Amino acid sequence: MAALLLCIAAPATIACGVIPFAEDPAFGYAYGSATPLRVAVIDDTGGGDWSPAVDAAIATYAATSAHLAFQRDAAAANIVVTVHEYSDSAPPALRGYLFPFNAGGFAAIYDPAGAACNFPPSTLPLNCTGQIATAEIYLNDLIPPGADMEGRRERLILHELGHALGLTRHSPDTDIAQLAERYGWGGAN
């Protein structure tokens, strides 16, 4: 019976577009609150090639909605996102996730108890409350060189930041309509 429920629950979670939650959508954030969602983005990429794209992605998301407030330190944040650079030859150790080789990047999202919340690449997060507390964004240093490298990096970070905010499926651009639904913003910017 548990296996049957697992097969039904996994596709339903993926199809809805956002990580489902039972109570509050993010740590300390009340659904439908008029207050901005406070998101701390900690850049742990070493200040090299990725940092300008991290800054640009934060600015792009921040400009899309007054309901999003980005900060650089974890104090009083609803969601703390740490951005890392990695290489397939030295993959990061992950809690509750399968490492996705050859990906440009990926996000690992956790609830306040540390349970993995997004699928894939998590192994099915049956114990996750859906309340996002932390996220780890991993950016692969093996992105092939080519035209518009900064733009490609920014789009990748925008996409992974969307996952960190609770989206499971979306375009590389910001998806404020789905975020408004997840956090109860009534579709308003």
Q: Which domains does the chain have, with CATH numbers?
A: 17-181 (3.40.390)
Query: Among positive and negative, which fits the CA dihedral 17, 21, 24, 28?
Result: negative
The Cβ of residue 108 has, within 10 Å, a number of other Cβ atoms equal to 25
Task: Please say whether the beta carbons of 117 and 124 come within 8 A.
Answer: no
Task: Please say whether the beta carbons of 69 and 39 come within 8 A.
Answer: yes
Q: What pTM did the predictor assign?
A: 0.87
- CA separation for the pair 147, 68 (Å, rounded): 31
pLDDT over 50 (residue 10): no
Give residue 188's pLDDT band: very low, low, confident or very high (50, 70, 90).
Answer: low
> Which tokens sit at 101?
């080789």
